[in-house]
Structure 1
Amino acid sequence: MAPPVTPHDRLQLLADRVRRQDPSLETLLLEPDGKYQTRRVTLDVLMREMTDCLAAGFAGRAATDFPMHYLAWGKCRVGSTALTNLFGVTGMPSYYQPLKMMLRHLFVGQQPAPWIIPRAADQPQIFSKETAGPYVVAESLFNPLRLLIEAGYPPHRLQLIMLDREPKSSLASSLDKLAGCVPDAMLLQNYVVAALNATRIESYARQQGVPVIHYVYEASKEAVRSVRTLFDRLGLAGRFSETAVTDWRNTGKLRSDSSRITFGDEPSIYDVAGLHGADTAYRYHPRDTETLSAYQRDMLERCGVNEVYRGSVEACIRDLGLDAATAARLFSHTVTHEPA
């Protein structure tokens, strides 16, 4: 009789499939956890249901009716909510993971409402962020860019911003903020899958001709300079102002009516106290990683998460045109292997 599959074995097997971009992931059977997901369903079925729902909201639009959409994607806890608020402060409609919120309704057998976006004549540019993870594996694997395109969003009206953050810091943040919500072993699995899924997301964008730019959270150590460059590279130099980065005032309460973020509807189970912070500006916040176990640190290296991050840093340096001295200041922590 074969020995039972351990959580460690399951993590490494799943990580390998994601690294290889194994097509069988599309038909991966997603078992319910009874809390955040109550349906036994495959990833491709969920994606089809989401596509149909989105298509209903896009129906009847000509390509010119779609605003230029700046879509930021990354694993959880990469500073994406603060970045969403930043784009909103510039005056651009800015949305908090609208597709994942729809997906969460489908997890529990509810029909989500279509996402109704403004017409380009009213709002020529919009921003949204989607994060991968953390509660169930489907959140780590779903591809929001593919959903938009297959539902009818014109690829030439999309720009993908790939987000990342130093792996130990973002994992430690997830484990801290979600303590008691999901077992640590499951948070680690979903985090690893989300981080590795970056390759699948970017590969799809390249196939569809969607421009890609990389922005790593550690660039916000020099926030004004980095954001100015990011906006310039996105063709949004006219929207940038230094005060949008440095002076948020009451808009810095990120989960509130005063923020510049549009929040959709999702099941109440996702209301987690303290998940979103408050600040008076867009800035870098270091994270203590001493709470991570030797095993957790080792799996980041063994599963290839650190390698993905190193690639993100190199791409960010290239895409933002950072000189060697600036790159050294921002990314001097470059990940190295930490043996168990």
Structure 2
Amino acid sequence: MRYIHKLPVFLLTGLLLLLSGCSELTVLNPKGPVAESQRDLIMYSLIFMLGIVMVVFILFTIMVVKYRDKPNRKEGDYKPNLHGNRKLEIIWTAIPIMIVTALSIPTVSTLFDLEEPPESSADQEPLVIYATSADWKWFFSYPEQGIETVNYLHIPTDRAIEFRLSSADSMAAFWIPALGGQRYNMAGMQTKLYLQADEPGVYKGRNSNFNGEGFTEQIFKVYAESSSEFRSWVESTKNTAPELTQDKYNNLLKPGLLGTMEFSSTHLQWVHHGTSEGADYSVERHRDAYGNQLHLDNGENHEHGPTGKEGEH
């Protein structure tokens, strides 16, 4: 009992220790406009909901203290009549609506804003990068530059990046916490994600959707650098990296872990990344979720079995 009076001190100390670790959370230390918008939305939601919790606990304390059973309380002193009380019914109906509205409006507004490239780099066209997941690695194709990397990528700072996401087999989720939230990679379709880095650095990316034994190692690094450094890296890769052949790409798709690689060509010329509008290359074939090659010719699919050379996975 002698420690009861120290309980507020213990609670305050624990809260300070908990909040002191927030600076280590990557999502609360954004490095680009998309991540900043999402950080602001997270903080708004947390503060708003903490305010609701405080109001509830204050009202709860008032009710417990004011209407607690006392030795001198007379029977019948407190007989609330809530049935048919229109004022109370309006209050406890309107308050939840107001809470949901206050949370929904900024959330929906932010989600719609993030479907477009960040305004801070509107003077430049977004850099298009195809991010293809496979068990358990990442392929990054640069159609404008004609190069491709495995398990790492370089991006210029202060320029929007338009990631076109798809999967060669199981579903994954592309996520670079320092630059923005995750979006799913799915076989047979393509999704878009706009991100941007405002600060040079090396950022960690990963698959945030569990997809088997190699899930924890399906990671990659993002090298954000100046435009001149990015162009130098592109030229160096084009001049020194080997060409990516179709047989090589099919072999790399087999389930397993890989190190970093780079190629002076991309797989986009022969692999279809989904049926969504906006694909700017010819449709020839892609792998289904089981690794079988699907040839697309005039809308007809012809499946090669897993025993064939092209069907091996």
TM-score by length of 2: 0.25
Q: Tell me which protein shows more strand as a share of its residues.
A: 2
Higher relative contact order (CA 8 A, sep 6+): 1
Q: Tell me which protein shows more helix as a share of its residues.
A: 1
TM-score by length of 1: 0.24
Larger radius of gyration: 2
